[in-house]
Amino acid sequence: MENMGTYDDSNVDVGSVVEAICLDDVDTPLYKVESLCMRCGENGMTNFLLTLIPNFRKILLSAFECPHCGERNNEVQFAGEIQPRGCRYQLNVQSGDLKMLNRQIVKAELATIKIPELDFEIPPEAQRGSLSTVEGILLRAADGLDVLQEERKKVDPKTAEAIELFLVKLRACATGKLSFTFILDDPAGNSYIENIFAPSMDPSMNIKFYERTLEQQAALGYLSDSSKTAEGAEQKFSVENKDTPSTATTEPHGSVGAAAAGRKAIAEGSSAEMVEALFRYSAPEEVMTFPSSCGVCANQCETRMFVTHIPYFQEVIVMASTCDGCGYRNSELKAGGSIPAKGKKITVSIKNVTDLSRDVIKSDTAGVIIPELDLELASGTMGGLVTTVEGLVTKINENLERVHGFTFGDSLDGNRKTRWQDFRDRLNRLLSIEEPWTLIIDDALANSFVAPATDDINDDKQLKFEEYERSWDQNEDLGLNDMDTSSADAAYDSINLSSKN
């Protein structure tokens, strides 16, 4: 860890530590607070340190030590905000690979750890927030189970024998003798597993971000009634809105001037970048407003929606919502129409500054490839974006720095630090156009788009669109293999037949 202060003041109160969280200065001193030892009842000492993990986020480390009985423990708390979505890391650890076991782990307080091969789960209450490694977490869990083994042998020998056999397997995993899958699931989105291949993709690790359920929102303190279920929330929503018309209300296009109503309505719930990019094409004729529920706090809010057409692309639906209760804002861009029969790969050659200003629509199913950097982002990375080529590269840089934490910590070896710094410099050089480079957007649903630099898209020789047949695996990931539309097709055919007669 960096910036380990040496300040020592036993009279500093906890309020000073809380105030330090709000400071931008990372050279925060080390605070010491006298605390009660829960083992012997005497007073021990708790050390607090606010530190910034480079390219991750600000955390508060606390370490307790009792000089009377030797009790020691430590904990990690996050000083920043809860992330908009939860995260799930899945790491495949092969036997004999000690580097995998040495990966650093940031486990938040509400995170759950699972090992499916052992049918083993560490719930949030079993291990508090910690900064450790894969090996350290497994050995700590094994030691925790082993503490009461002598008592178990006296009371329930069969259970004690089963746990003894399990501990052998768990310690075998911790020492690299067995292959296993290490899953870290955190609804707050603040946990992290180190990527030793950064900035490249990690072939052994899979990262997914997801929307939290109502139960997870309640655990994070967003819901006042933790017993509220999805069904109950749905029933409450129906009762509260029984007088609300089922059809969406619309704002007249000319009420506050041409396109002004649409601009204002979308801007209230969307980023300025998205609004500016979308209105280059056409202004919406009407903005529809309908009631919905906040995805974070589940309170009632309004969602605004409009449909606009992008030349050479298709109709798109823009949905933006903002919650007055918690302040959460969300904007989404959805493609209109049916699911395309083929996927699409867009290749654009970037040669000058004008190319950096090309508008880009990247859907949440699209992957991004830059061959010159050997960079490949899997589909779904960064979600859906409405930006420019320059903005896309900038967001890639920011996203890599956020996901690949511990990049510049003092525990990182020199070769990996140099490799990451070199990659970041090369990524930044793309924006200076020192040499031509290629941007490839591969979207299995063909919902992404790069704007041409000429009035006629056929005259743009630097822009290339390719359609391809989706593989079975791609259809499986998109849920298309299990989609059965035979009943709907039969209904449409019967309607068309009766209309002709």
pLDDT tens per residue, the chain (501 residues)?
Answer: 333 333 344 344 444 444 444 444 445 567 788 888 888 888 898 887 776 654 455 667 778 889 999 888 777 665 555 677 788 999 999 988 888 898 888 888 889 999 999 999 998 877 777 778 899 999 988 988 888 888 888 888 899 899 999 999 999 999 999 999 999 999 888 888 887 776 667 888 888 888 888 888 777 776 544 444 444 444 443 434 444 343 344 433 333 333 444 444 444 444 455 555 544 444 445 778 888 888 777 778 888 888 877 776 777 778 888 888 777 787 777 777 677 888 999 999 999 988 999 989 888 888 899 998 888 887 767 777 788 999 898 888 877 766 555 554 455 566 767 777 788 888 888 888 888 999 999 998 888 889 888 888 888 999 999 999 988 888 887 777 777 667 766 776 777 676 666
Q: DSSP state, 373? A: G
* Number of Cβ atoms within 10 Å of the Cβ of 360: 24
**Neighbouring C-beta atoms of residue 244, cutoff 10 Å:** 12
462 alpha carbon, distance to own chain's centre: 33
Q: Where are the domains of the chain?
A: 14-78, 86-219, 249-335, 343-477
**Would 14-78 and 343-477 be classified into the same CATH topology?**
no
Tell me the CATH number of domain 343-477, given options 3.40.50.10860, 2.60.120.1040, 3.40.50.150, 3.10.20.880: 2.60.120.1040
Burial (CB < 10 A; 0-12, 13-18, 19+), residue 330, is middle
The structural architecture, per CATH, of the domain 14-78 is Single Sheet (2.20)
Answer whether 148's CB lies under 8 Å from 115's CB. Answer: no
Q: Does domain 86-219 have CATH number 2.60.120.1040?
A: yes
Alpha-carbon distance of 355 to 197, in angstroms, equals 31
4: Cβ–Cβ under 8 A, 6 or more apart, which residues? 30, 49, 51
Q: Is 438 left (phi over 0), alpha (psi -120 to 50) or beta?
A: beta
How many helices (H) and strands (E) the chain has is answered by: 14, 25
Q: If DSSP codes are grouped into helix, strand and coil, which group holds residue 318? A: strand
Interatomic CA distance for residues 448 and 392, integer angstroms: 13
Residue 388 φ/ψ region, left for φ over 0, alpha for ψ in the -120 to 50 degree band, beta for the rest: beta
Alpha helices in 380-413 (DSSP H): 389-403
Phi, then psi, of 351 in degrees rounded to 5: -120, -20
The pTM of this model reads 0.51
Evaluate whether 182 touches 134 at the Cβ level (below 8 Å). Answer: yes
- Exposure of 330 in the CB half-sphere (CA atoms within 13 A): 20
pLDDT confidence of residue 395: 85
E strand map for 371-433: 375-377, 385-388
Q: How far apart are CA 351 and CA 50, in angstroms?
A: 45
Give me 453's structure tokens.
């630099």
Output DSSP code: residue 330: E
Does the 249-335 domain belong in CATH 3.30.930.10? Answer: no
**3-state SS assignment for residue 89:** strand
What are residue 308's DSSP bridge partners? 316
Element (H, E) at 76: strand 72-78
